[in-house]
Structures are given as C-alpha cells and as structure tokens.
Chain A
Amino acid sequence: MSIDAQSVLNETFVLNLGPQHPATHGVLRIKLTMDGEYIVDAEPVIGYGHRMHEKMGENRSYAKFLPNTGRIDYVAALFNGHGYVGAVERLAGITVPERAEYIRVITSELNRVASHLLWLGAFLVDLGGFTPLLYCFDDREQILDLLESVTGARLTFCYYRFGGVCNDIDDDFVAGTRSFITRLRSRMPMYDAFVTKNIIFRKRVEGIGLISAETCRKYGATGPVIRGSGVSYDVRKVEPYSVYLKFNFDIPSFTECDCMARYKVRIEEMVQSMRIIEQALDSLPAGPIMAEKVPRTLKLAKGDCYYNVESARGSFGVRVVSDGSENAYRLKLRSPCFSNMSLFRECSAGMLLPDALALLGSFDLVIPDIDR
C-alpha cells in the first residue's frame, strides 16, 4: 500500500499548544487538531490573561485609570497611554501644548523601536535561534535607560497626563537619544547580515503564513500584519493625530504577504521611527508641557468619542462613553492583537506545525493585549 493511500486512514489527535508554552509569549492556548505534522484545525482559546481592564475603566475615575493603560500592552505601553489620554482630551476638548505633543511623539517612537527589538529577539527564539535575543535585549536596555530617566518606569509607563506629560525631557535625554540612534544605525547592518541573510531563517519564513489583504480586511487585522500584505494602512498617515503631520517618514509595506514581509516591515519601521525621532528632536519647540486649567477631577460631557493611535502592533483604539459623571460609563479598548489573532484559525489550516509557530511569531502577540 503506497504512502498516500496509507495516510488517508490516519486519525487526527488533539494537541494543546497550551497556556504555558515558550512559543506563545504568554498564556495563549491553541487546541490543535493534528494529522501527523499537519494542522487540521487550530482553535485559539484565549482568556487566560484576562485582567478586567474595561471593568476597571468603569469603576474608577479617569485619572485613576492611567496606570492601567501601561499594563494592557506592556511591551509598547506608551501607545495605550496615548490612545486613552487622546480619547479623554478629545471628549473634554483639552488642547495639548506643542512641546508636549513633540515629547509624546519622541517617547512613543522610542517605545516602538524597543517593542520591535523585543519582537525580533522573541521571534528568532521561536524559530530556534537564541543568540539574537541577547543582542536585541542589549539594544533595548539602552532605550529603557533613556525612558526610565524621563518616565521613571522601565516597562509599564504612566507618563502621559490629560493635557500633556508629567515630566519634561532635559538635555542629556536628548543627547542620549541621539547617541542611541547613531549606535543602533551602526548595528542595523549587523542585524541584516546576521539574521536577514541567514539561509536557515529565510527557509523558515519565506513563503510561510500567507495572509491575503482581503483576509486582513475581513478580520480587521492592522499594523505590520496588513502592511505585510501590501496595504500600507498606518493610522499616523491615514488618520493623522498628534503632530505626525509635521514629520516626513514613509510607511513600509511589502506585497509578499508572508512572514518575511512582516519581518521586513518591522525592521524598516525601526529605521523610520529613528527618522521621526531625529526630526522631532531637531524641531523640538520650547514652552509649557501641560495645558493650563485642566480640572483635577475631570467630568466629561455626555456622549462618546473614539480615538485611535498606531501602536507597535496595529491600530489601538479607545471608545469612551461618558454620562457626565467622573467615571467613564463605558470604556472600550480596541486592541490590535485581538483582531490580528482572530485570523490565525483560518490561515493556519493545513500548515505544518513549525510553520504555524513562525506565523504566530510574526503576529508579535502580547497576550494581555488580546485578553485585556
């Protein structure tokens, strides 16, 4: 009996890519129905990292929710803060002074580079290479030192306030950022030679995990996932917020739709972010960093509004529904990883298990961002 005929009689078995697994970057569980090495059906089971952010949004005042924003997507925490603060400012009609907007852009873009560096290390550990993680963490520590000197935290920042930022950046922050950018630019060719041209890495990611632009639209996937499928949708350009209009930078997008395209998008995004930071540092205006009369306990007008930012993983949106009291009536956090992950079941049918892990790694997941 030839091999083909034999394999038709196989039974499928169920494997748990469980809550505690090195490749899931947290507590994501995937129920894999397998036929040998091929995935018949991969049903993600989420909720193991659910931490009730939206419930907490309702039973505490607007200002008390600020520390929570650093713990939704803690790898790129400043974007959540920017989204939440932006939504409340839009509903309250607070205008943020120019310098504070620039500081927000600089620190957010630094956080994006740090998030992409952590993703680069973790993605390659998923594919089996441990050494790049040490290089990436070394670079990332430089950014954490800079951000720690200004915000006081390494990971779960709570730096933005309604109407501005709480701490001004000084000269050695600016000097440190410039020296960091020159250092990272000198190391990018090393990453390029060390990883991008590595034949083992290319064999694991090229042509693997194809996601069409139509699937991205149907599932609402945004960020590097949709930019890897040829659609250059970036909230900073398409729906400009803050002062991003003042900087010229371009949005990398590749049309191969595979893991390699998403990898190249993120590597190119790091370069673009450094361009933005440099332009922002050059034209940093003087002036106040907080809007003047922002009431201590904020009471927003009745009604709701939506504000979204381009986080490192996609478009992070906040919908604040207020009924005039000092607590939000309803706070909806639209997290990018939730939608990016929802297309995993459709895209991973029929793939080999190691390829499905490469696809999972190319999503750059943060599990509490999925579960909120």
Chain B
Amino acid sequence: MKILPLKSKFEAIAVRGTPAPVVGAEAGAPVPLVNETPHATKGIDLDVTVSAERVVEAVKILDEANWMLEAITGVDWLAERQFEVVYDFTHVDSGERVTVRVRISRDKPELPTISHIYGGANWHERETHDFFGIIFLGHPQLIPLLLPEDARFHPLRKDFTA
C-alpha cells in the first residue's frame, strides 16, 4: 500500500495553504480534497483535487516517491465555465493509481508546467494545449503537436464548431 504515506503528505499541503475554494467542491472544504476510492469501481486508489498553485508541489511529492506519469487529460466543463486537468500516476511495483485533479477557470486557462519534473509531460501538455487551449506556463515548446503547425483552433472544446 504505497499510497498511505502520500495521503498524509497531501493532507499536509492542505493544512499549510489557505483553503482557496475549489469551484465545484463543497464550499469551505480544505484544499486538497483527498479521498480514497475503491480500485474495482473507479480504477483509481487516491483521488486528489489540488488548486492550480499546488500542482507542482503535488507532482513533486509523487516524483520523490517514484511514481510514473501515465497521462494528462483535459476536460471542458462548459456549464461551470471551467477546465479540469487530470494527472494520472501509477507505481510500477504496486500498480496503484493516484489522480491529481486541477480546476482552472475557462476564461484564463493557465497552469504551471510540470515538464521539468516529468519529461513525458512535455508532449501530454502540448496535446492538452492543442485540444483545449490551456496555456502551461514555462513549457519549453508550446506549439501544436497533433494539429497542423498553423492550427489556432481547439477542437475538443465543447463550443468548437468545425
């Protein structure tokens, strides 16, 4: 059970930081929301919701504990005017999964990059930028990856029309 030490570390982030409200979570809940979910029905063992400033800290915790970055997913919650970025991590020995979720506002979609911690995040972030237009601050080469070089549209946004 590799996630137990992590759980306490993630709670530690919550205690130090002022509880910035995470839109969509119950008001006043401490940031980050850390809840353990059964693997069988959700496929994830530890689900952590972090605010945008805490992302790099949360990812550093996982990096020191030798977790592997699987994927970065963007989700466009149009109704709540928010983007959600989901970081998936797994551990090669125990096979457990940790998901770090971040919610950023849809009008100013900015998020610090983690490509200096995980090299693989470089491409994942470029792809999320392609599809959603989320700007990853400090990313070395944020140009279209899957779309043509001159593409300025973001196809996976809910309000995208071809």
Contact = CB atoms under 8 A, between A and B. Distances in A.
Do any CB atoms of chain A lie under 8 A from CB atoms of chain B in the complex? yes
Interface of A: 46-47, 50, 52, 54-55, 58, 87, 90, 93, 215-222, 226, 231, 233, 235, 238-239, 303-308, 315, 317, 319, 321, 329-330, 332, 334, 338-339, 342-343, 346, 371-372
Contact of A58 (B92, B99, B156): B156
Given A239-B95, A315-B70, A219 B88 contact: no
B66 interface: yes
Interface of B: 39-44, 66, 68-71, 73, 75-76, 86, 88, 90, 92-95, 97, 99, 118-120, 122-123, 131, 144-148, 155-156
Contacts, number: 104
A329 B119 contact: no
B42 to A, nearest CB: 5
Which of A55, A87, A217, A305 is the most central at the interface, judged by chain B CB atoms within 10 Å of its CB?
A217
Given A238-B92, A315-B70, A319-B86, A47 B119 contact: no
Nearest to A340: B120
4 nearest CB pairs, A to B: A238-B95, A306-B43, A239-B95, A219-B120
B120 A90 contact: no
A305 B43 contact: yes
A319 B71 contact: yes
A48 to B, nearest CB: 9
Main secondary structure on A side of the interface with B: mixed
Contacts of B99: 306
Contacts of B144: 47
Contacts of B66: 217
A201 B148 CA distance: 38
A136 B145 CA distance: 34
A343 B119 contact: yes
A305 B39 CA distance: 9
Contacts of B147: 47, 50
Contact of A317 (B41, B70, B122, B148): B70
Given A219-B119, A334-B70, 11 more contacts: A90-B41, A217-B92, A218-B120, A219-B69, A220-B69, A220-B118, A231-B92, A238-B93, A238-B94, A238-B95, A334-B88
Contacts of A315: 70, 90
B63 to A, nearest CB: 8
Contact of B43 (A90, A220, A221, A222): A90
Contacts of A319: 71, 73, 86, 88
A331 B94 CA distance: 26
A330 B132 CA distance: 12
A307 B69 CA distance: 15
A204 B70 CA distance: 31
Contacts of A220: 68-71, 118, 120
Nearest to A321: B75
A346 B95 CA distance: 26
